[in-house]
Structures are given as C-alpha cells and as structure tokens.
Chain A
C-alpha cells in the first residue's frame, strides 16, 4: 500500500447551469471524507456553487461546449478548492469586494453579492493570477483546520 499526505480530487463538468450542483455534491462528500463538520460543509457547498455559477456566467459567458474544472486538495491542515473557467471574459475584481453598505448606498452595483458571500463563508476566497498563460479565471477557496480550544473556567 502506498499512502500520501495530500489528497487530490479533480472534477470537470459542462459549463451549463445545473451541473454545478453535481460538482457541489462531489466536493461536499470529499470534505465529509476528510472530516469536515456539517456547518462547514454547508458553507463550502454555498461558496463552491457561487464560484461555479460565476465561472459559468461570467468567465465562460454561458458558451456551450466549454467546461469548468475544479481541483480540491486536502493536506491534513487545510482544504483548498480551485475553480477554473476557460476565460471567455476576464472578470477578476481588483481589491476587496464592495460591502453591503456600499451597495445599499448606491456606491457599488447591487449585483455581485456572490464574491462578498464567499469571502464570509471561506477562510480565504480570492482570484489567482494568470501564471500559466491559459487566460482562464481561477478562483481559490480555502478552509483551514480549526483548532478546538476549551473555554477557560471561571
């Protein structure tokens, strides 16, 4: 038997609304297999769905025949999920996403809550720079292992 510390799962699915649900379920089961609790899996499912929908809608511009590619890596300390499209459109947002207050005040577009939501649900949520020349958008979500701490006794 050959074992490895890093567990990697790869998923590729058609860039069409509806298929993100299949990827979401597969990633959720992967997270369950590596020991994530139910609350974090719910967060993960929402964030992965948002990232996939963005990739289908904005990155691939709903063009049929394209794919969305996901790579999930668990190394014992954190779960990292990269969602990549084929870059029909570059839609990376520079800097931090607009806050709800800015949106309500009309200082930022009302749409685009997904990015804000993902930053709240994951420990890290950000675009990756295009270092491999594919021109596709790559979005990374990270959940770190939580260290349980006991409440001090009074």
Chain B
C-alpha cells in the first residue's frame, strides 16, 4: 500500500468505510477489517488484539445502545490510515445520547461481581486499550467514538 496524497483526504491518509447492519455478530466484520489493516500497517500482535477488542466493544455498543438493535439502521466504521497511526471512528444513527457519567466512569470490580448484570465494561475497556479515545455527537445526530492507536516502530 502506498501513502500518496488523495483527493478529499489529508496527505498520507487513506480511508476505508464500512456500513454495517445493526445486528449483533456483524461487529466481527469491523474487527476483521481493522485487524487485517493493522497487520499490513505493521502493528504487533498484542496491539492488534487490543484493537480488535476495542472495535468489537464500540460496534456492539452502537448496535445495542445507539441503534437499539434496529436492523434498518447502520453502524458506520471509518478506518483512517496515517503513517504513524490508525484512527477508527464508529458512528451510530441513534437519537439516544450516551450519558456523560457512563462514558467517564471507572467500574468497581468488587461491586460488579455482586451484580447479576456483568455488562458495562466496554467503554472503560476501550479507554484502557486505545491510545486516544473521544466520544462526540456525529454531524448526523448519532453517537460517535473516535479511537486512535499509535504505530510504534
């Protein structure tokens, strides 16, 4: 893959776009595309594993919470390749915003073990695994998570 300048994107930047149905299971399409791309960029195995987990969590959140399992809604995944980093942006079409407190909370392991519902670790995991994470509102109104993983040569 070369990294020449292209129309509509910044120098040395290439974009792959995936539009997925809001159906659990299809997060694997994004995981495999991201891992295949990261491997070709030169990321190490443990970083690729971290990326796959983060992408899976972000897309699953978009399907479950943002799009509320509405299969007619799409989850849009943008994979932006730069010389020294991979940026993954996951956007849903949901009208329900993610609660700010939920985005920034740190789960308590002992409390979580007492509860029947063991969910709610996704955003914390994404923050732990990626180098940069930002939650915003997409221009179209959905929720957007932007994750960056740096390539250490």
- Point out residues on A near B: beta carbons under 8 Å: 1-4, 7-14, 16-19, 21-23, 25-26, 28-30, 32-33, 64-65
Q: From DSSP, what is the main secondary structure of chain A's interface residues? A: mixed
**B44 in the interface, Cβ–Cβ < 8 Å?**
no
Interface positions, chain B 80-114, Cβ under 8 Å from A, are: none
Contact A9 B33 (CB under 8 A): no
Distance to closest chain B CB from A17 (angstroms): 8
Q: A14-B15, A16-B1, A65-B7 are in contact. Are A33 and B33 (CB under 8 A)?
A: no
Residues of B within 8 A of A19 (CB): 1, 14, 16
Which one of A1, A11, A13, A21 contacts B69 once the chains associate, using CB atoms below 8 Å?
Answer: A1
Contact B6 A64 (CB under 8 A): yes
Which one of B1, B4, B21, B31 contacts A7 once the chains associate, using CB atoms below 8 Å?
Answer: B21
Most chain B Cβ neighbours within 10 Å, of A2, A13, A14, A16: A14
Residues of A within 8 A of B28 (CB): 29, 32-33
Q: A29-B28, A33-B29 are in contact. Are A9 and B19 (CB under 8 A)?
A: yes
Residues of A within 8 A of B70 (CB): 1-2
- In the docked arrangement, what's the CA distance between A14 and B7, Å? 11
- Nearest B residue to A2 by beta-carbon distance? B70
Q: A9-B20, A16-B1, A18-B1 are in contact. Are A33 and B36 (CB under 8 A)?
A: no
Contact B17 A12 (CB under 8 A): yes
- In the docked arrangement, what's the CA distance between A33 and B16, Å? 21
Q: A1-B69, A4-B72 are in contact. Are A14 and B33 (CB under 8 A)?
A: no
Q: A64-B4, A64-B6 are in contact. Are A11 and B16 (CB under 8 A)?
A: yes
Contact A22 B16 (CB under 8 A): yes
Instruction: Please list the 6 inter-chain residue pairs (A to B) with the smallest Cβ-Cβ separation, ordered nearest first.
Output: A18-B1, A10-B19, A65-B7, A65-B6, A26-B33, A1-B69
Residues of B within 8 A of A8 (CB): 19, 21
- In the docked arrangement, what's the CA distance between A25 and B31, Å? 10
